[in-house]
Structure 1
Amino acid sequence: MKYSQVQNYVNGKFVNSSSSSERKLEIISPLDGTLLSTVPLSCSKDLDEAVQSAKAAFPAWSKTPIKERVQVFFRYKYLLEKHLDELAALCSEENGKTLGESVAEIEKCIELTEFATSLPQLVTGEVLEVSKGVECRTEHVPLGVVASIVPFNFPSMVPNWTIPNAIALGNCMIIKPSEKVPLSVGKLALLLKEAGLPDGVFNVVHGDVEIVNAICDHPGIEAVSFVGSTKVAKIVYQRATHNYKRCLALGGAKNHLMVLPDAKPDMTAQNVAASMSGCAGQRCMAASAMVAVGQVDHIIDKICEEAKKIVAGKNLGAVINKDSKDRIERYITEAEQQGAKILVDGRRTVVNGKEKGTYVGPTVIDYVTPDMAIAKEEVFGPVISIMRTNTVDEALAIENANPYGNAASVFTQNGGMARYIIDRASAGMIGVNVGVPVPREPFSFGGWNESKFGVGDITGKSSIEFWTKLKKSTTKWNPEAGVNWMS
């Protein structure tokens, strides 16, 4: 075992789970099958200890002026930069993505933290003299103890969607990492402590569904954010809100790239191939469906050429585990059996010297029909399914019929047509000649439909409303005005 057993992090210290001797999972690197560590599957008692720690820390932290709170994140940003290589290597080991992709993930953490340092300028509130001697004022007030449940596909970035903003805004946090990738969050905890974050403000509890349910049920937790599959996002949203908590739950996606005949062939092919294969397709912004509008065979040929340049173990990482590999390959085989044509086949991929790794090669499938499972469901692998239409309206009908609404893109050189699609595509994030239309800070990340449950977005300015509540005060200092309807 390369690393020592994973521990929970409570009140500024790493501690054993009360169930650590009984329930634990092995952490296997998808890159080569190496045993990295074991992670405890904690129980509700462990969560309660973390919540009590956070509750004890909340009064002092919430009363600390925000300009002082963000000083922690100026230092945290510096530490992320200082330890970038170490964090990226750990991310690659436990998740399976390439080192370059892992570096980009930590760079995004730095950008997210940089945004958090600007929060004092964004939460100044408002004040207005509404009548002579009478003022109305608003202030953003922290909620209390909040929780964040994060997925395996971005071990550092998704935690940093919530950690800097929620904590800088005055909350104390419990985070539940994916049990598949628990190592990176432990390193983030150490960096936050080194940056000067007071003990108890940030806590980590490892576990599986038992801890997720306990978070949704715990009366000491005011708000829950979740990122994962739509199936689980619905359950978390329903359970948390049933217990009168705020909840923002991000689910899955089926992102459509619409390619028009006037699209730039080289640029389009490079973007489509990168979008479907980046992070081995294990991201909610991956292109998994392409709608070919009219005659675009010349572009499809180039997409296949680009896909063949993507080599597992070199510029393509592993999928998270064997179950995922098997599931992805079943989707491909089923589509082939139903009449789709495999143009580039990534099944049965093995990397020399890493035979125990779990790899799926880039896969391009043509003549997929909208009724096929691979066209409707989230595959979460380096696979793109091509559906063919004659018109843009037919392409939009396919995009809008899918239940998800995370992202959609169009590749065209016609500005009017791009605007037409932007106005009509039912997705929260739209790209024009961009394969992965993730907004940069301060713009927020969030989809529509069954890709998101709850109000607001998880990053950027929109997140302020989720992590705070508004306090409104009205003051009157003119007794000579007498009594009126406002008194």
Structure 2
Amino acid sequence: MQYKLGNYIHGNIVEASGAKRDIYSPLDGSILAQGADSSKEDVRKAAQDAAQAQSSWANLTTKARVEVHYNYRGLLKKHRDELAEICHKENGKAMPEALAGVDKAIELTDFACSMPQLISGSVQEVSKGIECKYRRVPIGVVASITPFNFPIMVPHWTVPNALAVGNAVLLKPSEHTPISAIRSAELWKQAGLPDGLLHVVLGSKDVVEEICDNPSIAGLSFVGSTPIAKLVYTRASANLKRARCFGGAKNYLIVAEDAHPKVADDIISAFCGMAGQRCMAASVLLSLGEITGIVDAVLSQAKTLVPGITLPPLISKQAVEKISQYLDKAQERGAKILLDGRTTPIQGPGSGYYIGASIIDWRGREDEMPLEEVFGPTLELIHADSMERAAELQNRSPYGNASSIFTQSGKVAAEATKRLQAGMIGVNIGIPVPREPFSFGGIKHSRFGEGGITGWSNVEFFTDTIKITTKWNPEDRKDWMS
């Protein structure tokens, strides 16, 4: 089946005017859709249309706006299987993972439905007859630039909240996975969202540059690799635009000697779930003491994973080649390859983008390990004799997205959470994703700009706070505000 592909502009799918593009399924290499990238002029027209629609949307009460969100939430539940199937085909996720992404989108929409309570403001009589209050107002037209690895979930980090507080949105999905975004936009319209408030613009570099430069766009969020996040943040900020850009990761799991033996299951899930293509994936296992039994269990389970059956594909042929090159680099630096995914038999279609799980042992050569993000089903083993050394090894990474400690000692856990430089830290949990209203987001080179991208930080990003001071006692001239 081929899907209809085009920009979603003012409630309709229209053909973009840029270069032609085919969308391939990583499952078998087949063409899912054919279309074109947007030109910069396409983006300008979308931004102008959004600006015209946004003013009347902002004048509605928050309660009136989120009535659309309640309807949309119901449509997400109704079309849950359909959306997951699209995600499965264009991203390659296993169906349980795709369904989980839709479920998370529903949860994120739930949070936006609470916006009338979240931004109700406050009022206080600060002096006799003088009242101060504040209210939140939208910033205007905003853009959300999203990655391929969560084509349903990540757009819902931003779009529901941005709309609920009164903004209009330009959504620029990954060029690998645009179909989910277009289908979501169609459901927003079906839910009652007025035309012009949500546009989907397809494309890559030219589209992002226009979003950064366009004066009609007040702010943008970006999720992707660190090199591109830096470029986007720098360009958008140079144009005095509000920007919050999230980059890559190299997340560590620190396993102490007293960790529960079942931690091996968590490690497998953390480094092989979604074939390692998530910014929360664990890519380094750091042993704090002797954990031979746990490492053996991880190796044993990893050997049973079958690409095409129990291990999904990567997003592209280039992604497979990148992992292969990384394994070559590790061997050149003296690491031992305990499990080589390049030699794992594949049971998926031969034209799909598959590679097996890999485990690299750096023990004794910890300082030789490259610090780059791998973004695939690859786990690197290093060792530390103390928590101080473990923190030193983790903290040398330029990234600061997530890190976890597995231990049954409260003292060890407390020391780890104090020493580790990561925006999201887990204790006995491999994927320490915070839930709303707590915000998702790393530190260091995993994030450029202030705040998180979900929860309360997201609300603050998409609004301005207006402070109002009122005096009703003209006869009193003694107050300092007179």
Tell me the TM-score normalised to structure 2 length: 0.98
Q: Is the 8 A contact 2:148 2:176 kept in 1?
A: yes
Q: Is the 8 A contact 1:156 1:184 kept in 2?
A: yes
The Cα of 1:437 is off from its aligned counterpart by 0.5
- Counterpart of 1:352 (choices 313, 323, 347) is 347
Q: Does 1:35 align with 2:31?
A: yes
Write the deviation string for residues 395-447 of structure 1: whole angstroms up to 9, x where unpaired.
Answer: 11001111100000001000111011001100000001111101112211000
Write the letter of the residue equivalent to 1:357: G
Instruction: Give the length in aligned residue pairs.
Output: 481
Q: Is the 8 A contact 1:351 1:357 kept in 2?
A: no
- Counterpart of 1:333 (choices 313, 328, 332) is 328
2:398 matched residue in structure 1: 403
The Cα of 1:339 is off from its aligned counterpart by 2.2
The Cα of 1:318 is off from its aligned counterpart by 0.4
- Counterpart of 1:141 (choices 137, 143, 152) is 137
Write the deviation string for residues 355-406 of structure 1: whole angstroms up to 9, x where unpaired.
Answer: 1011111111112534445x41100000000011211111110011111000
Write the letter of the residue equivalent to 1:118: S
d(CA) in 2 for partners of 1:324 and 1:349? 16
d(CA) in 1 for partners of 2:325 and 2:106? 38
d(CA) in 1 for partners of 2:43 and 2:343? 41
Of residues 386-395 and 332-341 in structure 1, the stretch that sits farther from structure 2 once superposed is 332-341
Write the letter of the residue equivalent to 2:9: V
2:236 matched residue in structure 1: 240
1:365 matched residue in structure 2: 360
| Mapping for residues 441-456 of structure 1, pairs under 5 Å | 441-456=436-451
1:3 matched residue in structure 2: 2
Does the residue aligned with 1:481 lie in a helix, a strand or coil? coil
1:184 matched residue in structure 2: 180
d(CA) in 2 for partners of 1:340 and 1:13? 53
Write the letter of the residue equivalent to 1:419: A
Q: Is the 8 A contact 2:313 2:353 kept in 1?
A: yes
Shift in CA distance, 348/41, structure 1 to aligned 2, threshold 3 Å: farther
Does the residue aligned with 1:265 lie in a helix, a strand or coil? coil
| Mapping for residues 179-328 of structure 1, pairs under 5 Å | 179-266=175-262, 268-328=263-323
Shift in CA distance, 203/350, structure 1 to aligned 2, threshold 3 Å: farther
Does the residue aligned with 1:347 lie in a helix, a strand or coil? helix
d(CA) in 1 for partners of 2:296 and 2:457? 41
Q: Does 1:159 align with 2:155?
A: yes
Q: Is the 8 A contact 1:39 1:206 kept in 2?
A: no
Write the deviation string for residues 191-226 of structure 1: whole angstroms up to 9, x where unpaired.
Answer: 100111111110011111001000000000000100
What percent of counterpart residues are identical? 49
d(CA) in 1 for partners of 2:368 and 2:192? 53
Does the residue aligned with 2:475 lie in a helix, a strand or coil? helix
Q: Is the 8 A contact 1:39 1:182 kept in 2?
A: no
d(CA) in 2 for partners of 1:115 and 1:249? 22
d(CA) in 1 for partners of 2:145 and 2:470? 40
Does the residue aligned with 1:376 lie in a helix, a strand or coil? coil
Q: Does 1:16 align with 2:15?
A: yes
The Cα of 1:38 is off from its aligned counterpart by 2.0
2:377 matched residue in structure 1: 382
The Cα of 1:336 is off from its aligned counterpart by 2.4
1:68 matched residue in structure 2: 64
d(CA) in 2 for partners of 1:370 and 1:152? 31
Q: Is the 8 A contact 1:350 1:359 kept in 2?
A: no
Q: Is the 8 A contact 2:306 2:345 kept in 1?
A: no
The Cα of 1:5 is off from its aligned counterpart by 4.4
Q: Is the 8 A contact 2:246 2:446 kept in 1?
A: yes
d(CA) in 1 for partners of 2:348 and 2:266? 30
Write the deviation string for residues 229-254 of structure 1: whole angstroms up to 9, x where unpaired.
Answer: 00000000010010001000000001
d(CA) in 2 for partners of 1:372 and 1:122? 48
d(CA) in 2 for partners of 1:232 and 1:144? 25
Of residues 138-147 and 66-75 in structure 1, the stretch that sits farther from structure 2 once superposed is 66-75
Of residues 118-127 and 405-414 in structure 1, the stretch that sits farther from structure 2 once superposed is 118-127
The Cα of 1:311 is off from its aligned counterpart by 2.0
- Counterpart of 1:89 (choices 85, 89, 93) is 85
Q: Is the 8 A contact 2:90 2:177 kept in 1?
A: yes
| Mapping for residues 91-110 of structure 1, pairs under 5 Å | 91-110=87-106
Write the letter of the residue equivalent to 2:8: Y
d(CA) in 2 for partners of 1:353 and 1:310? 12
Tell me the TM-score normalised to structure 1 length: 0.97
The Cα of 1:52 is off from its aligned counterpart by 1.1
d(CA) in 2 for partners of 1:57 and 1:414? 56
- Counterpart of 2:48 (choices 52, 55, 64) is 52
Does the residue aligned with 1:51 lie in a helix, a strand or coil? helix
d(CA) in 1 for partners of 2:218 and 2:45? 16
Write the letter of the residue equivalent to 2:230: K
Shift in CA distance, 92/287, structure 1 to aligned 2, threshold 3 Å: same
Does the residue aligned with 2:126 lie in a helix, a strand or coil? strand
d(CA) in 2 for partners of 1:208 and 1:359? 24
Q: Is the 8 A contact 1:10 1:49 kept in 2?
A: no
Does the residue aligned with 2:308 lie in a helix, a strand or coil? coil
d(CA) in 1 for partners of 2:202 and 2:136? 31
Structure 2 portions without partners, runs of 5+: none
Write the letter of the residue equivalent to 2:295: I
The Cα of 1:39 is off from its aligned counterpart by 3.5
The Cα of 1:275 is off from its aligned counterpart by 0.3
Q: Is the 8 A contact 1:91 1:156 kept in 2?
A: yes
Structure 1 portions without partners, runs of 5+: none
Does the residue aligned with 1:461 lie in a helix, a strand or coil? helix
Q: Does 1:460 align with 2:424?
A: no
Q: Is the 8 A contact 2:121 2:134 kept in 1?
A: yes
d(CA) in 1 for partners of 2:122 and 2:217? 28
d(CA) in 2 for partners of 1:71 and 1:306? 47
| Mapping for residues 410-421 of structure 1, pairs under 5 Å | 410-421=405-416
